């Protein structure tokens, strides 16, 4: 009798530990992310040509802040020279901008992006895990991955996104936060962002979303 109880308890524990996938998992994930208005963090990005897999991919440090209202602030630097040249891309709530800076103290003027919709904001919805926004542009699957993790697989359906993106995969940790984003673009590049820090609803930094 005791052995049966132990086995039953073990089965319940293992079942509870298995993360949900498919539509039930997507519903659970959407509910868990519904109160997240802002995410911020860091990661390491590489870009690899799919038709040149033996070519080395140069790592770049990425710092990001992405808000639910479409604003974002992305800074890309060389990990070996954190105070050196940098690229910054941001949406301040009214316009999208790109800025190329010579170093951390540079105050170069921003350059306004094209006004015909901000594709980057739509792509960054996958980092913020805004499933309602993602369903407008992609088909979505939540499938099991190695080590008991899950993968969110996105395939574009909107023509504007489809012109730029072939597929996106987001690996989730046990708590449902992204640890890896892989984007295959229409130019046969594979962009990988290994997320090293990810914070839900952090205190807003006053410099985020503001042009120099």
Please state the pTM of the whole predicted model. Answer: 0.84
Which CATH number is 148's domain given?
Answer: 2.50.20.10
| Mean pLDDT value of segment 130-158 | 94
Is 102 inside a domain boundary? Answer: yes
Is 6 inside a domain boundary? Answer: no
Residue 14: its pLDDT value, please?
42
Helix (H, G, I), strand (E, B) or coil at 201: coil
Confirm if 97 and 118 have CB atoms less than 8 A apart.
Answer: no
Q: In what order do the strands lie in the sheet with 96-101?
A: 111-112, 96-101, 81-91, 72-78, 60-67, 38-49, 189-200, 178-185, 165-172, 150-156, 138-144
Span 86-96, pLDDT tens digits: 899 999 988 88
pLDDT surpasses 60 at 117 = no
Is 65 inside a domain boundary? Answer: yes
Is 11 inside a domain boundary? Answer: no
Is 10 inside a domain boundary? Answer: no
Q: Are strands 165-172 and 150-156 parallel, antiparallel or unpaired?
A: antiparallel
Domain that holds residue 83: 21-200
The span from the CA of 112 to the CA of 166, in Å, is 26
The two three-digit tokens of residue 143, written as one number: 């499938």
Span 31-73, pLDDT tens digits: 999 999 999 999 999 999 888 877 788 899 999 999 999 999 9
160 contact partners, CB below 8 Å, separation of at least 6 = 117, 119
Is 9 inside a domain boundary? Answer: no
Is 137 inside a domain boundary? Answer: yes
Number of domain units in the chain: 1
């Amino acid at each position: 009798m005791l052995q049966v109880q132990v086995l039953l308890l073990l089965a319940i524990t293992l079942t509870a530990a298995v993360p949900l996938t498919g539509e039930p998992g997507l519903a659970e994930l959407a509910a868990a992310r519904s109160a997240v208005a802002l995410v911020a963090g860091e990661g390491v990005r590489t870009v690899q040509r799919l038709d040149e897999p033996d070519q080395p991919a140069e790592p770049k440090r990425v710092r990001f802040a992405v808000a639910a209202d479409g604003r974002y602030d992305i800074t890309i630097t060389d990990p070996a020279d954190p105070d050196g040249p940098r690229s910054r891309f941001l949406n301040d709530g009214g316009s999208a901008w790109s800025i190329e800076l010579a170093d951390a103290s540079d105050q170069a003027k921003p350059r306004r992006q094209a006004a015909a919709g901000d594709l980057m904001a739509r792509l960054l919805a996958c980092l913020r895990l805004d499933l309602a926004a993602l369903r407008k542009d992609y088909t979505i699957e939540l499938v099991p991955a190695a080590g008991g993790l899950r993968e969110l697989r996105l395939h574009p359906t909107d023509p504007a996104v489809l012109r730029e993106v072939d597929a996106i995969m987001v690996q989730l940790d046990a708590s449902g936060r992204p640890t890896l984003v892989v984007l295959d673009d229409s130019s046969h590049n594979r962009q990988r962002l290994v997320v090293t820090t990810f914070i839900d609803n952090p205190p807003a930094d006053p410099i985020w979303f503001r042009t120099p």
